[in-house]
Amino acid sequence: MQIDIFHRSTILVVDDTPHNARIVYKVLTGKNCEVLIAEDGRSALAVAQSEHPDLILLDIMMPELDGFETCELLKQNEETQDIPVIFMTALSDLESKVRGFEVGAVDYVTKPFQQKELLARIQTHLTIRNLQRELLIQKTSLEKANEELKRLAIIDDLTQVANRRRLEDYLQQEWKRGIRERISLGIILCDIDFFKQYNDTYGHVVGDQCLKQVAQAINQAVKRPADLVARYGGEEFMVILPNTPLEGALKVARDIQKTLHSFKIIHEASQINQHITLSIGIANTIPENFHQPITLIKAADTALYTAKQNGRNCIVTEYL
Protein backbone atom coordinates (compact mmCIF):
# COMPACT_ATOMS: atom_id res chain seq x y z
CA MET A 1 0.00 0.00 0.00
CA GLN A 2 1.43 3.36 -1.06
CA ILE A 3 1.80 5.87 1.75
CA ASP A 4 0.42 9.39 1.22
CA ILE A 5 3.63 11.30 1.95
CA PHE A 6 1.80 14.64 1.95
CA HIS A 7 -0.75 13.69 4.60
CA ARG A 8 0.14 15.32 7.93
CA SER A 9 3.41 16.70 6.58
CA THR A 10 4.17 20.24 7.72
CA ILE A 11 5.58 22.61 5.14
CA LEU A 12 6.77 26.15 5.78
CA VAL A 13 6.23 28.57 2.87
CA VAL A 14 8.41 31.68 2.99
CA ASP A 15 7.45 34.43 0.56
CA ASP A 16 7.13 38.19 0.99
CA THR A 17 4.41 38.35 -1.68
CA PRO A 18 1.05 37.33 -0.15
CA HIS A 19 -0.42 36.39 -3.55
CA ASN A 20 2.38 33.87 -4.21
CA ALA A 21 2.08 32.42 -0.73
CA ARG A 22 -1.70 31.95 -1.15
CA ILE A 23 -1.23 30.03 -4.39
CA VAL A 24 1.24 27.62 -2.82
CA TYR A 25 -0.96 27.36 0.29
CA LYS A 26 -3.94 26.29 -1.84
CA VAL A 27 -1.91 23.68 -3.71
CA LEU A 28 -0.48 22.12 -0.56
CA THR A 29 -3.64 22.15 1.56
CA GLY A 30 -5.31 20.37 -1.35
CA LYS A 31 -2.84 17.54 -0.66
CA ASN A 32 -3.72 17.50 3.08
CA CYS A 33 -0.51 19.21 4.12
CA GLU A 34 -0.29 21.46 7.15
CA VAL A 35 1.02 24.75 5.79
CA LEU A 36 2.82 27.46 7.75
CA ILE A 37 3.41 30.92 6.26
CA ALA A 38 6.29 33.33 6.91
CA GLU A 39 6.59 36.70 5.14
CA ASP A 40 10.32 37.26 5.61
CA GLY A 41 13.57 35.55 6.54
CA ARG A 42 13.52 36.50 10.21
CA SER A 43 10.04 35.12 10.68
CA ALA A 44 11.02 31.96 8.79
CA LEU A 45 13.93 31.32 11.16
CA ALA A 46 11.68 31.70 14.20
CA VAL A 47 8.92 29.48 12.81
CA ALA A 48 11.37 26.81 11.67
CA GLN A 49 12.96 26.61 15.11
CA SER A 50 9.68 26.50 17.01
CA GLU A 51 7.61 24.27 14.68
CA HIS A 52 10.25 22.05 13.03
CA PRO A 53 8.50 21.67 9.66
CA ASP A 54 9.22 18.69 7.43
CA LEU A 55 10.22 20.92 4.51
CA ILE A 56 10.70 24.62 3.70
CA LEU A 57 9.77 26.35 0.43
CA LEU A 58 11.91 29.47 0.42
CA ASP A 59 11.74 32.53 -1.81
CA ILE A 60 15.08 34.15 -2.64
CA MET A 61 14.13 37.75 -3.43
CA MET A 62 13.13 39.15 -0.03
CA PRO A 63 14.00 42.44 1.73
CA GLU A 64 16.49 42.66 4.63
CA LEU A 65 17.31 38.94 4.77
CA ASP A 66 17.20 37.22 1.39
CA GLY A 67 16.65 33.52 0.78
CA PHE A 68 20.33 32.66 0.49
CA GLU A 69 21.12 34.28 3.86
CA THR A 70 18.08 32.68 5.46
CA CYS A 71 19.09 29.25 4.22
CA GLU A 72 22.63 29.71 5.51
CA LEU A 73 21.30 30.60 8.96
CA LEU A 74 18.96 27.61 8.93
CA LYS A 75 21.88 25.29 8.17
CA GLN A 76 24.02 26.84 10.92
CA ASN A 77 21.38 26.07 13.56
CA GLU A 78 21.52 22.51 14.96
CA GLU A 79 17.74 22.52 15.46
CA THR A 80 16.94 23.38 11.84
CA GLN A 81 19.94 22.26 9.81
CA ASP A 82 18.37 18.95 8.78
CA ILE A 83 15.16 20.47 7.38
CA PRO A 84 15.25 20.24 3.56
CA VAL A 85 14.97 23.60 1.79
CA ILE A 86 13.61 24.04 -1.74
CA PHE A 87 14.13 27.44 -3.30
CA MET A 88 11.16 28.96 -5.18
CA THR A 89 12.21 32.00 -7.19
CA ALA A 90 12.00 33.83 -10.46
CA LEU A 91 15.80 33.72 -10.64
CA SER A 92 16.70 31.06 -13.15
CA ASP A 93 20.34 31.86 -13.98
CA LEU A 94 22.96 29.20 -13.38
CA GLU A 95 24.88 31.30 -10.85
CA SER A 96 21.82 31.67 -8.59
CA LYS A 97 21.06 27.96 -8.78
CA VAL A 98 24.63 27.01 -7.92
CA ARG A 99 24.68 29.43 -4.99
CA GLY A 100 21.40 27.96 -3.76
CA PHE A 101 22.91 24.49 -3.57
CA GLU A 102 26.08 25.87 -1.98
CA VAL A 103 24.15 27.37 0.94
CA GLY A 104 22.38 24.08 1.59
CA ALA A 105 19.22 23.84 -0.53
CA VAL A 106 18.19 20.42 -1.81
CA ASP A 107 16.26 21.60 -4.87
CA TYR A 108 15.21 24.59 -6.95
CA VAL A 109 11.82 25.49 -8.49
CA THR A 110 11.49 28.50 -10.77
CA LYS A 111 8.47 30.81 -10.85
CA PRO A 112 5.93 30.68 -12.27
CA PHE A 113 5.91 27.03 -11.16
CA GLN A 114 4.03 24.11 -12.62
CA GLN A 115 1.86 22.51 -9.94
CA LYS A 116 2.77 18.93 -10.88
CA GLU A 117 6.49 19.72 -10.91
CA LEU A 118 6.29 21.44 -7.53
CA LEU A 119 4.41 18.54 -5.96
CA ALA A 120 6.77 16.00 -7.51
CA ARG A 121 9.82 17.75 -6.09
CA ILE A 122 8.21 18.14 -2.67
CA GLN A 123 7.17 14.49 -2.68
CA THR A 124 10.72 13.39 -3.49
CA HIS A 125 12.28 15.33 -0.63
CA LEU A 126 9.57 14.45 1.87
CA THR A 127 10.16 10.80 1.01
CA ILE A 128 13.90 11.19 1.51
CA ARG A 129 13.29 13.03 4.77
CA ASN A 130 11.06 10.24 6.07
CA LEU A 131 13.55 7.57 5.06
CA GLN A 132 16.32 9.46 6.85
CA ARG A 133 14.19 9.61 10.00
CA GLU A 134 13.42 5.91 9.82
CA LEU A 135 17.10 5.10 9.35
CA LEU A 136 17.99 7.27 12.33
CA ILE A 137 15.38 5.51 14.48
CA GLN A 138 16.67 2.12 13.36
CA LYS A 139 20.27 3.19 14.00
CA THR A 140 19.42 4.44 17.49
CA SER A 141 17.51 1.26 18.25
CA LEU A 142 20.38 -0.88 16.99
CA GLU A 143 22.91 1.08 19.03
CA LYS A 144 20.80 0.59 22.17
CA ALA A 145 20.48 -3.12 21.44
CA ASN A 146 24.24 -3.43 20.94
CA GLU A 147 24.92 -1.58 24.18
CA GLU A 148 22.56 -3.90 26.02
CA LEU A 149 24.25 -6.95 24.49
CA LYS A 150 27.65 -5.62 25.57
CA ARG A 151 26.31 -5.03 29.07
CA LEU A 152 24.82 -8.52 29.27
CA ALA A 153 28.10 -10.03 28.10
CA ILE A 154 29.96 -8.64 31.12
CA ILE A 155 27.26 -8.77 33.83
CA ASP A 156 26.41 -11.71 36.06
CA ASP A 157 22.77 -12.46 35.34
CA LEU A 158 21.81 -13.24 38.93
CA THR A 159 23.66 -10.66 41.00
CA GLN A 160 23.96 -7.87 38.39
CA VAL A 161 27.61 -7.22 39.21
CA ALA A 162 30.45 -7.93 36.78
CA ASN A 163 30.88 -11.54 35.68
CA ARG A 164 34.02 -13.68 35.61
CA ARG A 165 34.86 -12.68 32.04
CA ARG A 166 34.74 -8.98 32.86
CA LEU A 167 36.72 -9.60 36.04
CA GLU A 168 39.56 -11.32 34.21
CA ASP A 169 39.71 -8.68 31.46
CA TYR A 170 39.74 -5.83 33.97
CA LEU A 171 42.34 -7.46 36.18
CA GLN A 172 44.60 -7.97 33.16
CA GLN A 173 44.08 -4.34 32.14
CA GLU A 174 44.90 -2.97 35.59
CA TRP A 175 47.85 -5.32 35.99
CA LYS A 176 49.42 -3.87 32.84
CA ARG A 177 48.68 -0.34 34.02
CA GLY A 178 50.30 -1.13 37.37
CA ILE A 179 53.45 -2.26 35.56
CA ARG A 180 53.56 0.89 33.42
CA GLU A 181 52.83 3.36 36.21
CA ARG A 182 54.42 1.47 39.12
CA ILE A 183 51.26 1.68 41.24
CA SER A 184 49.70 -0.75 43.71
CA LEU A 185 46.94 -3.14 42.77
CA GLY A 186 44.75 -4.78 45.38
CA ILE A 187 42.07 -7.46 45.26
CA ILE A 188 39.56 -8.53 47.87
CA LEU A 189 38.18 -12.06 47.73
CA CYS A 190 34.96 -12.57 49.73
CA ASP A 191 33.28 -15.87 50.56
CA ILE A 192 29.86 -16.20 52.21
CA ASP A 193 30.27 -18.19 55.41
CA PHE A 194 28.34 -21.48 55.59
CA PHE A 195 26.44 -20.77 52.39
CA LYS A 196 25.81 -24.46 51.70
CA GLN A 197 24.00 -24.70 55.02
CA TYR A 198 22.07 -21.55 54.11
CA ASN A 199 20.84 -23.17 50.89
CA ASP A 200 20.04 -26.41 52.71
CA THR A 201 17.99 -24.49 55.29
CA TYR A 202 16.15 -21.95 53.16
CA GLY A 203 16.30 -23.42 49.65
CA HIS A 204 18.04 -22.27 46.50
CA VAL A 205 15.48 -19.60 45.60
CA VAL A 206 16.13 -17.81 48.91
CA GLY A 207 19.82 -18.56 48.42
CA ASP A 208 19.75 -16.66 45.14
CA GLN A 209 18.13 -13.71 46.91
CA CYS A 210 20.90 -13.84 49.47
CA LEU A 211 23.55 -13.69 46.73
CA LYS A 212 21.82 -10.64 45.28
CA GLN A 213 21.79 -8.91 48.66
CA VAL A 214 25.44 -9.66 49.32
CA ALA A 215 26.36 -8.29 45.89
CA GLN A 216 24.33 -5.19 46.65
CA ALA A 217 26.06 -4.72 49.99
CA ILE A 218 29.52 -5.02 48.44
CA ASN A 219 28.53 -2.56 45.71
CA GLN A 220 27.36 -0.05 48.29
CA ALA A 221 30.61 -0.32 50.22
CA VAL A 222 32.86 0.07 47.18
CA LYS A 223 32.78 3.77 46.34
CA ARG A 224 35.27 4.59 43.57
CA PRO A 225 34.19 4.28 39.92
CA ALA A 226 37.50 2.57 39.06
CA ASP A 227 36.93 -0.24 41.59
CA LEU A 228 35.23 -3.31 40.13
CA VAL A 229 32.89 -5.65 41.99
CA ALA A 230 32.48 -9.05 40.34
CA ARG A 231 31.05 -12.47 41.08
CA TYR A 232 34.04 -14.77 41.12
CA GLY A 233 32.01 -17.96 41.24
CA GLY A 234 29.36 -19.61 43.40
CA GLU A 235 29.18 -17.65 46.65
CA GLU A 236 32.51 -15.87 46.10
CA PHE A 237 32.88 -12.23 45.09
CA MET A 238 35.99 -10.29 44.14
CA VAL A 239 36.76 -6.60 44.23
CA ILE A 240 39.57 -5.17 42.10
CA LEU A 241 41.12 -2.02 43.57
CA PRO A 242 43.45 -0.19 41.15
CA ASN A 243 46.04 2.20 42.59
CA THR A 244 45.24 1.07 46.13
CA PRO A 245 47.77 0.26 48.89
CA LEU A 246 47.20 -2.56 51.34
CA GLU A 247 45.84 -0.18 53.99
CA GLY A 248 43.26 1.13 51.53
CA ALA A 249 42.16 -2.37 50.56
CA LEU A 250 41.79 -3.27 54.23
CA LYS A 251 39.55 -0.25 54.79
CA VAL A 252 37.32 -1.26 51.85
CA ALA A 253 37.07 -4.81 53.23
CA ARG A 254 35.99 -3.49 56.61
CA ASP A 255 33.42 -1.25 54.92
CA ILE A 256 32.07 -4.30 53.10
CA GLN A 257 31.64 -6.23 56.34
CA LYS A 258 30.04 -3.23 58.02
CA THR A 259 27.60 -2.68 55.15
CA LEU A 260 26.66 -6.37 54.97
CA HIS A 261 26.06 -6.42 58.72
CA SER A 262 23.55 -3.57 58.28
CA PHE A 263 21.55 -5.77 55.89
CA LYS A 264 20.94 -8.27 58.75
CA ILE A 265 20.34 -11.29 56.51
CA ILE A 266 19.19 -14.03 58.89
CA HIS A 267 21.28 -17.24 58.83
CA GLU A 268 20.02 -19.64 61.51
CA ALA A 269 22.29 -22.44 60.29
CA SER A 270 25.48 -20.41 60.67
CA GLN A 271 27.89 -21.74 63.30
CA ILE A 272 29.32 -18.31 64.09
CA ASN A 273 26.58 -15.68 63.75
CA GLN A 274 22.82 -15.33 63.43
CA HIS A 275 23.31 -13.27 60.25
CA ILE A 276 25.14 -13.77 56.96
CA THR A 277 28.87 -13.03 57.30
CA LEU A 278 31.89 -12.99 55.00
CA SER A 279 35.37 -14.42 55.21
CA ILE A 280 37.71 -12.10 53.34
CA GLY A 281 41.19 -12.49 51.88
CA ILE A 282 43.12 -9.47 50.63
CA ALA A 283 46.16 -9.50 48.34
CA ASN A 284 48.16 -6.46 47.29
CA THR A 285 51.21 -5.85 45.14
CA ILE A 286 52.91 -3.55 42.68
CA PRO A 287 52.65 -5.60 39.46
CA GLU A 288 55.85 -6.84 37.82
CA ASN A 289 56.52 -8.31 34.38
CA PHE A 290 57.82 -11.57 35.86
CA HIS A 291 54.48 -12.18 37.62
CA GLN A 292 50.97 -12.70 36.26
CA PRO A 293 47.59 -11.61 37.68
CA ILE A 294 46.90 -15.22 38.71
CA THR A 295 49.69 -14.80 41.27
CA LEU A 296 47.68 -12.08 42.99
CA ILE A 297 44.50 -14.18 42.90
CA LYS A 298 46.32 -17.14 44.46
CA ALA A 299 47.63 -14.88 47.23
CA ALA A 300 44.10 -13.62 47.92
CA ASP A 301 42.82 -17.20 47.91
CA THR A 302 45.51 -18.20 50.42
CA ALA A 303 44.52 -15.28 52.64
CA LEU A 304 40.86 -16.31 52.34
CA TYR A 305 41.69 -19.87 53.34
CA THR A 306 43.52 -18.57 56.39
CA ALA A 307 40.48 -16.41 57.28
CA LYS A 308 38.32 -19.53 57.22
CA GLN A 309 40.84 -21.43 59.32
CA ASN A 310 40.84 -18.56 61.81
CA GLY A 311 37.13 -18.99 62.47
CA ARG A 312 35.54 -17.15 59.51
CA ASN A 313 33.88 -13.72 59.58
CA CYS A 314 37.31 -12.10 59.55
CA ILE A 315 39.86 -10.47 57.24
CA VAL A 316 43.34 -11.74 56.40
CA THR A 317 45.85 -9.82 54.25
CA GLU A 318 48.68 -11.00 52.03
CA TYR A 319 51.31 -8.83 50.33
CA LEU A 320 53.42 -10.13 47.43
Write the CA distances from 300 to 189, 259, 292, integer angstroms.
6, 21, 14
Active-site residue list: 235
> Are the beta carbons of 41 and 62 closer than 8 angstroms?
yes
> Are the beta carbons of 34 and 25 closer than 8 angstroms?
no
- Across 1-124, the runs of DSSP E, i.e. the strands, are 10-14, 34-38, 55-59, 85-89, 107-110
Q: Which of 253, 236, 16 is nearest to 111 (CA)?
A: 16
> Are the beta carbons of 287 and 179 closer than 8 angstroms?
yes
Q: What are phi and psi of 11, to 5 degrees?
A: -125, 130
Angle at 190 between CA 187 and CA 196, to 5 degrees: 155
